[in-house]
Amino acid sequence: MKYTVSIEIAQPREKVAHLLADPAQLPYWLRGLVVHEPLNGEHGHLGTRSRVVMQTGKQKMEATETITRREPADLREIPTNVVVHFEREIVADGMWSAARERLTETGPDTTLWESENEYRFNGVVMKLVGLLMPGAFRKQSLQHMQDFKAFVEQGKDVRDATD
């Protein structure tokens, strides 16, 4: 299963890139995050493997995330007209996924975030989930993007949400 979602954020690309790449910021916008800890490497950098635990209601999922691309590697000075790329693979029981994130400067204070997602499922149960609920994956990705946008633009923290 593959899909792409996008959102425009009313902040400069450099700020968006720094906040998206900084694992310390994840709890503020990644709804359901319980743990995100590096197993090796430097948190958020190319080649780093991390243990990730997410919880939705009573359902908890543990996975391993590997950063497969981060360009440019140094986000302190991003040249004009350069698209920022973050890519990662996530492996969990019965599932493999890849997320390819692109940040494009659309104006001096606006950034387009495009997220291309791919999922592969193993086992009967996970294959059924993928077949019967493809919209749920897209909806969750878009929710994460909207939460990130609210965090970056308005300082909203998903942990304060009552919904």
What digits encode the pLDDT tens for the residues 24-35?
999 999 999 999
Residue 73 three-state SS: coil
Q: Which residue has the higher pLDDT, 20 or 163?
A: 20
Question: Taking the complete model, does pTM exceed 0.75, yes or no?
Answer: yes
Distance CA 53, CA 55 (A): 7
- In this predicted structure, what is the pLDDT of residue 120? 86
Q: Is the pLDDT of residue 62 over 80?
A: yes
Confidence of residue 47 (pLDDT cuts 50, 70, 90): very high
Pick the CATH number of 2-32+75-158 from 3.40.50.620, 3.30.530.20, 3.40.190.10, 3.40.50.970: 3.30.530.20
Range from 42-46, 90-94, 129-133 carrying the lowest mean pLDDT: 129-133
User: Could you count the other beta carbons within 10 Å of the beta carbon of residue 160?
Assistant: 7
Residue 117 CA: distances (Å) to CA of 99, 137, 138, 158: 5, 9, 9, 22
- In this predicted structure, what is the pLDDT of residue 155? 94
- In this predicted structure, what is the pLDDT of residue 132? 59
